[in-house]
Amino acid sequence: MKSVQFYQVFFLTVWLAWLITWWVFAINVKTTIRRQPALSRLMNMVLLWCAFGLLFWGRFIPVRGLMERFVPLSQWQFWAALGALLTLLGLLFTVWARVYLGRNWSGMFATIKADHELVTGGPYALVRHPIYSGLMLAFVGTALAIGQWRGVLATVLALLAIVHRMMVEEGFMREQFGAAYDSYAKRVRAFVPGVL
């Protein structure tokens, strides 16, 4: 199998496995008592699906410039390998965070659950939104491996969706947990450990 084919299969497989895992994790979560408004949910979903579409089907979109390379073709093997590693690490980080969050997980949209608990251990001791941090790392990794501007655009769209959802969740958490969340937010960065 040529390396191009290997990476195509690799990225499709890890993202598909992650997506199936996410659907399985949606079983047996706590009852939702408050959710992100409909328009906000729609915006998140459109941005994320457009981002995924650019990553996996962008080569079929006839838009000038999307297929241009920002990674030189001569260095593609290095960037593809690095991208594969970052994607795998990012997706594994999201799974760790999801498992650690337990039944408090909100799935596709920002929610408050019945008997919602403030989780601050495990990956949540590193960043307040480790699922989003891992997801962005995976987007960056896949974009690097693709090496085309469509990957950069996909990453920007995903970042917009994630930042918007983070803002909604931050508001929910502050309303739900008050001073406890404020104290947690002072200790732990939102998105990038020790930085952002």
So what's the pLDDT on residue 114? 83
- Judge contact between 54 and 151, C-beta under 8 A: yes
The answer to the question of residue 193 being in a domain is: no
Instruction: List the domain range (segments joined by +) for residue 100.
Output: 3-24+33-187
Write b or e for each residue in 131-170: b if 16 or more Cβ atoms lie within 10 A of its Cβ, otherwise e: bbbbbbbbbbbbbbbbbbbbbbbbbebbbbbbebbbebbb
The answer to the question of residue 37 being in a domain is: yes
The answer to the question of residue 83 being in a domain is: yes
The answer to the question of residue 194 being in a domain is: no
The answer to the question of residue 93 being in a domain is: yes
The answer to the question of residue 196 being in a domain is: no
Give the tens place of pLDDT for each residue, 94-120. 999 999 998 888 877 788 888 888 999
Q: How far apart are CA 134 and CA 151, in angstroms?
A: 17
75-96: average pLDDT: 94
So what's the pLDDT on residue 196? 55
Task: Tell me the longest C-alpha to C-alpha distance in the chain.
Answer: 56
162-188: average pLDDT: 93
Across 18-27, 29-38, 186-195, the highest mean pLDDT is recorded for: 18-27
Q: Which residue has the higher pLDDT, 32 or 99?
A: 99
So what's the pLDDT on residue 136? 96
**What predicted TM-score, i.e. pTM, was given to this entire model?**
0.91
127-134: average pLDDT: 96
The answer to the question of residue 192 being in a domain is: no
Q: Which residue has the higher pLDDT, 49 or 59?
A: 49
Among residues 167, 188, 91, 184, the alpha carbon closest in space to that of 133 is found at 91
Please provide the average confidence, as pLDDT, over all residues in the chain.
90
CATH code of residue 148: 1.20.120.1630
Overall domain count for the chain: 1
